[in-house]
Amino acid sequence: MGTIDIITALTKTFIIILPGYILQKMGFLTREHTEGMSSIITHITYPCLVITAMQMEFSMEVLNNCKYVVLIFMCVIAVAMILSKIISKIVKLPKSKSGLLAFMLVFGNTGFIGLPVLNGLFGHEAVFYGALCDASYDVFMFTVGVTLVRSAAAGAEKEKITQTLKGILNPCFFGVVIGLSLYVLKIDLPDIIGGPVQSIGAITSPLAMMVVGSHLANIKFRELFTDKYVYLVCASKLLIAPLIALTLVKLLIGTGSLLATVIVMQAAMPVAMCAVIFSEQYKADVQFSTKGVLLTTLLCIVTIPLFAILLQHI
């Protein structure tokens, strides 16, 4: 895929942000609406998108690549967490923000934004690998990630094991399990089932981007650009994290493959929306996490094409 094709595909994807932004500003899209849309994405459309993406011809090479996805992402998470601690000490980041910085450096929006972008750029096989990246993130996000956010919150209650398991065993995770099982067992869904599943999965991207647009409409841009620590989040998540992934990919599997491209692109995604959700739940700095999510979402329109182009020339 050429540079112009990459920019065009990303532009088409992110233009869908505008209706959500405009409808929110006009008062036609409320918080209750966006919460409902997010619930529909999480529980229905996203799992269908993943299952559809994995309905492809079986390949032992593709299945073998799955282990590299999990291995490299575990390494990315480990390195990013260590690096976030170092950065926090160097810039003397307040304790209320250090845990959130670690979370936002490690965990990106690999589902709502990552999969639609990969689908638009590279097609179903890329979504297959991308879904595995997202599943790996989910397992760590609802365990290690929650701990990081709680460390930045004052007086947070201890996480119960049942709550942790409930977080991991979510519909998105089950979508990956079902899709991967069908793939390994070489089961093709009959058209009467596969057709509707594909149609439902196809609306994931429009809904997700409209939700992002509605969140952008709820923050004053002056406040968004005046927090110096938010720029640290942006540099860490949009530049440092994908560079870590690129280095690990180059060392372990080499560049030039679709697998390598997907891993780096997923690492380049903006901060996960769960940063805000967890901050609200555990009484951490919600404003800081909201700014991190929104500003990285805005700036990734520039940084994602840069990494996509870089991967085409190395």
In this prediction, residue 242 carries a pLDDT of 92
In this prediction, residue 205 carries a pLDDT of 73
Per-residue burial over 26-51, b if 16 or more Cβ lie within 10 Å, else e, is eeebeeebbeebbebbbebbbbbbbb
- Give the DSSP letter of residue 54: T
pLDDT in tens, 16-66: 878 988 998 898 888 788 778 877 877 888 788 878 877 877 778 777 777
Q: Whole-model pTM?
A: 0.73
- Give the DSSP letter of residue 271: B
In this prediction, residue 288 carries a pLDDT of 84
Longest dimension (CA), the chain: 58
Residue type, 203: I
Is the Cβ–Cβ distance between 300 and 238 less than 8 Å?
yes
Q: Angle CA(142)–CA(214)–CA(285) in degrees, nearest 5?
A: 45
Residue 124 main-chain phi, psi, to 5 deg:
-65, -40
For the chain, the average pLDDT equals 80
Going by pLDDT thresholds of 50, 70 and 90, the confidence category of residue 10 is: low
Find where tokens 């989040």 sit: 233
CA atoms within 13 A on the CB side of 160: 3
Alpha-carbon distances of 163 from 38, 160, 166, 169, 202, rounded to whole Å? 20, 5, 5, 10, 30
Distant-in-sequence, close-in-space partners of 96: CB < 8 Å, separation ≥ 6: 152, 153, 154, 284, 285, 288
Q: How many CB atoms lie within 10 A of CB 221?
A: 11
Dist. CA 165–CA 279, nearest whole Å: 19
End-to-end CA distance of the chain: 14
What value does the mean pLDDT take over residues 191-213? 85
Please report the DSSP string for 25-40 in residue order: HHTSS-HHHHHHHHHH
pLDDT in tens, 220-250: 777 777 778 888 889 989 999 899 999 988 8
Find where tokens 């067992």 sit: 185
Going by pLDDT thresholds of 50, 70 and 90, the confidence category of residue 157 is: low
CATH number, domain of 102, equals 1.20.1530.20
Domain count across the chain: 1
H or E stretch covering 265: helix 258-267
With pLDDT > 90 as the criterion, what percentage of the chain qualifies?
8
Is the Cβ–Cβ distance between 207 and 40 less than 8 Å?
yes
In this prediction, residue 153 carries a pLDDT of 66
Closest CA to 142 of 163, 127, 121: 163
Dist. CA 239–CA 68, nearest whole Å: 22
pLDDT in tens, 79-130: 888 888 888 888 887 777 888 888 888 888 887 778 778 877 788 788 888 8
- Residue 16 lies in domain: 3-312
The residues facing 108 across adjacent strands are: 271
Dist. CA 237–CA 216, nearest whole Å: 18
Closest CA to 50 of 168, 142, 137, 180: 180
Dist. CA 266–CA 263, nearest whole Å: 5
Q: How many CB atoms lie within 10 A of CB 220?
A: 8
Is the Cβ–Cβ distance between 216 and 23 less than 8 Å?
no
Dist. CA 129–CA 258, nearest whole Å: 9
